[in-house]
Amino acid sequence: MRPAIGIVRRATLAACATLLVALAAAGGCMVSAPTPVVRPALHIAHVELVNLSECDWRVTLASSVGPDARSVSLPARETAHLELASGDYTITQTALTGLSGSESTRQIHAHFATGETYRWRLVTLFSATAVEP
């Protein structure tokens, strides 16, 4: 009985070795490709805040759908570039210097569409630069 056990062991070892070689050779083929992460398209609108006046301004843009608000302090004759999620906004602009009283703050509602660029000009009647339409 001893020789039969040796033949079975050798056959089993040979089968295991063949299986290991086959698995090693095909190992690269057996790995599944990573699943791509699908990200939602960004819906961004570009907004330029252009201060054409001698006043310093604070402009706050608050989205109607979210609690976050972007606030920008803009010195005289400066421009700020913003990227915002498209949608409806309440814009509050306040002249920090040069004006006083209720005339120094104004609140406006605006809609910014995806892929569009908007130029928001800040100007007073006392601005030296003419504003183009």
* Count of domains for the chain: 1
| Residue 43 Cα distances to 4, 18, 38, 66, angstroms | 74, 56, 15, 14
Residue 61's contacts (CB-CB under 8 Å, 6 or more residues apart) are 47, 69, 70, 71, 72, 82, 84, 89, 90, 91
Tell me, yes or no, whether 53 lies in a domain: yes
pLDDT at residue 49, rounded to an integer: 96
Q: How far apart are CA 37 and CA 22, in angstroms?
A: 32
Contact between 47 and 59 under an 8 Å Cβ cutoff? The reply is no
Is 107 a residue whose pLDDT tops 90? yes
Tell me, yes or no, whether 61 lies in a domain: yes
pLDDT at residue 57, rounded to an integer: 94
Phi-psi region for residue 11, left (φ > 0), alpha (ψ -120 to 50) or beta? Answer: alpha
pLDDT at residue 97, rounded to an integer: 78
Tell me, yes or no, whether 32 lies in a domain: no
Tell me, yes or no, whether 86 lies in a domain: yes
Is 44 a residue whose pLDDT tops 80? yes
Tell me, yes or no, whether 33 lies in a domain: no
Residue 63 or residue 1, greater confidence: 63
Residue 54 or residue 80, greater confidence: 80
Domain that holds residue 72: 44-122
CB atoms within 10 A of CB 64: 10
Tell me, yes or no, whether 30 lies in a domain: no
Assign 66 a pLDDT band (cuts: 50, 70, 90): confident
Tell me, yes or no, whether 14 lies in a domain: no
